[in-house]
Amino acid sequence: MAVGGNALTRADQPGTAEQIESNAAQMASGISNLCEAGWSVVVVHGNGPQVGHLAIQQEGSVDLVPPQPLYSLNAMSQGQLGSVLVRAIDTIRGPGTAVGLISHMVVDPHDPAFRTPTKPIGPFFTETEAAAMAERRGWEMRQDAGRGFRRMVPSPHPTEMLELSAVTPLLAAGKVVLAAGGGGVAVARDDQGRYHGVDAVIDKDSAAARLAGSLKATMMILVTGVDAVMVDYGTPRARAVHELSLAQAERYLAEGQFPAGSMGPKIRAATDFVRESGGTTVITSAERMLEALDPQNRVGTHIVPEQAMSEEAMSIA
């Protein structure tokens, strides 16, 4: 399952340690419910707000200590949020239940994403504040889904998680595994076989799809702020869809139904996983994710291979 960094530091919160821990406790309850239902669970969390806050702290103290690169900040936030979530899960299910795995994701240094930064990190700013930040710090600032301006950084496609072989034995031992936190620390391999950190923030849904496909998972849950995906959003024809075939989801994506700054990355990650694994992706809210796993409940949106489509969904499509 993939959980956004915004679920741990909400848009209306400054992101204190107490707030992050409170939000993590709520998320841990949902994760525990999945375990109770018999699932083996791997959690991929985002880090957009937190890594952006760390970047601001780095810049603000440059006269006192040397600032660290973005890939190091990703590692810091991976440890921070992993610790919070591990403790929240262990509080419910017992000490040692959850394990946080510091993870590195291989990316292509020539990925076009490095030329067009699209990943928002850090807090929201007004247009005036954003212009000042861009001038003072040299950051690329852009509107984020109409909620305000945020810093944009490259978000390349992950190709491999270096610690993949550690996940399966941990699951076999009954652990809840937190992996690829913040999308994983982005690294690239040089000609001598060494891995170097890359300044980028990998999208957590894309990282979850890469990891879930490699693990041959049967189900991937992408947690978001709504119960189900909407099509024709913003029009009188707007409606929730509870089941989409792989081809239907890809067609809607190509038609522009799911913008890049909104549901687009989730649909793209969902289709990547379904195409590779033949499994199912569920997109829904944190409150309803257990309920959404059963398609009979018509909660959430299931994206499935063509052969798994229900007759009702085929007739609606």
Which residues are part of the catalytic machinery? 5-6, 119, 204, 266
CB count within 10 Å of CB 22 equals: 14
Helix (H, G, I), strand (E, B) or coil at 226: coil
Q: Which residues lie across from 301 on neighbouring strands?
A: 283
d(CA 43, CA 1): 5
CB count within 10 Å of CB 79 equals: 14
C-alpha distances in Å from residue 119, one per residue of 81, 185, 305: 19, 14, 29
* Degrees, nearest 5: CA angle 225-119-265: 50
Spatial CA neighbour of 282 closest among 252, 233, 242, 240? 242
Q: How crowded is the C-beta side of 308, counted as CA atoms within 13 Å? A: 19
Token pair 């990943």: residue: 119
Q: How crowded is the C-beta side of 126, counted as CA atoms within 13 Å? A: 2
CB count within 10 Å of CB 252 equals: 18
Helices (H) and strands (E) in the chain, counts: 10, 17
d(CA 268, CA 273): 9
* Degrees, nearest 5: CA angle 145-149-155: 70
